[in-house]
Amino acid sequence: MNKLIAGARAEFVRLRIWPTMWVLLASWIVLNLVFLYVFDYITYKTGGTTSMSSNAPADVLLNRMLPAAVPSVFTQGMAMFGGALMLILGALTVGSGYGWGTWKTAFTQGPSRTAVLGGTLAMLAVVVLALVAVVAVIDLGAATLIASIESRSAALPAPGELLRAVGAGALILGMWTSAGVLLGAIARGPALSVGLGLVWVLVVENLLRGVGAVLEPVTVVTDRLPGTAAGSLAGALRDGGGDATPGVVDILSGPTAAGVLAVYLVVFGAGAVWWMRRQEM
């Protein structure tokens, strides 16, 4: 345990001064704010339409931007876009260590590989939880501001609903981060691991779901892919379904999707540790 804590502290020092991590986290915070509130508010004020608003009536669109609606919209962009950014973070965190020689130094002079990698995974988990919490606060602030400007109710959502949304967001982003860690370990570098991860998230899963729509037996697999589970959990939280947002689907129930995501998170993380323990540096 002491070695694991030491590994986590070392990883904290590395991540804290790593500009790439801050750029990725800031990118998601900005994208979340822009797509959930800025674009929709402009659409509401101008009477236009966007693919994200699905031609919703003005009152419906405004209601989605109020504080009470935060739990239902909070995770909508995480299934695909936020997940892709966190996958990049996980892949770069592990993959960059090969190019820099960080892993070789740590594995030959430091504690066991399990302790070093366990510390890395622990700090990435802290980063994910902190990011989700910050985004939740920012969303509540943006929604409260809109409610104040439009003279609408600024009542906060029920604590239980908000905690459920935060937990779902942490599970979705945590799973994609863990997937990036595994890809970084397998590819032994940042470029290939990031490329493979993005192709999977943005292209391959959508193609496989399309195949499943034609060949029903294939749905046994496609309905339990990582992206499908993430999109289903986000869709389960959204009022009226989640077909309007890319990556958000209504295939699995909320509890089933959460269970599948938890399994993927553990398998990806454990797989990365196992793979790196058997590698020659």
Mean pLDDT over 252-281 rounds to 89
Checking if the pLDDT of 4 tops 80, the result is no
Q: What is the percentage of the chain residues whose pLDDT exceeds 70?
A: 93
Q: How far apart are CA 218 and CA 210, in angstroms?
A: 10
Checking if the pLDDT of 51 tops 50, the result is no
The structure's pTM equals: 0.90
Per-residue confidence (pLDDT) for residue 61, from 0 to 100:
85
* Confidence band for 241, pLDDT divided at 50, 70 and 90: very low
Checking if the pLDDT of 242 tops 50, the result is no
Per-residue confidence (pLDDT) for residue 82, from 0 to 100:
92
Checking if the pLDDT of 50 tops 60, the result is no
Per-residue confidence (pLDDT) for residue 160, from 0 to 100:
93
* Confidence band for 85, pLDDT divided at 50, 70 and 90: very high
Checking if the pLDDT of 222 tops 70, the result is yes
Per-residue confidence (pLDDT) for residue 205, from 0 to 100:
84
**Highest mean pLDDT: which of 107-121, 200-214, 258-272?**
258-272
Checking if the pLDDT of 53 tops 70, the result is no
Per-residue confidence (pLDDT) for residue 114, from 0 to 100:
78
Across the chain, mean pLDDT equals 86
More confidently predicted of 189 and 261 = 261
* Confidence band for 1, pLDDT divided at 50, 70 and 90: low
Mean pLDDT over 169-189 rounds to 94
More confidently predicted of 208 and 147 = 147
Over residues 69-81, the pLDDT tens digits come to 999 999 988 988 9
More confidently predicted of 160 and 108 = 160
Checking if the pLDDT of 28 tops 90, the result is yes
Checking if the pLDDT of 134 tops 90, the result is yes
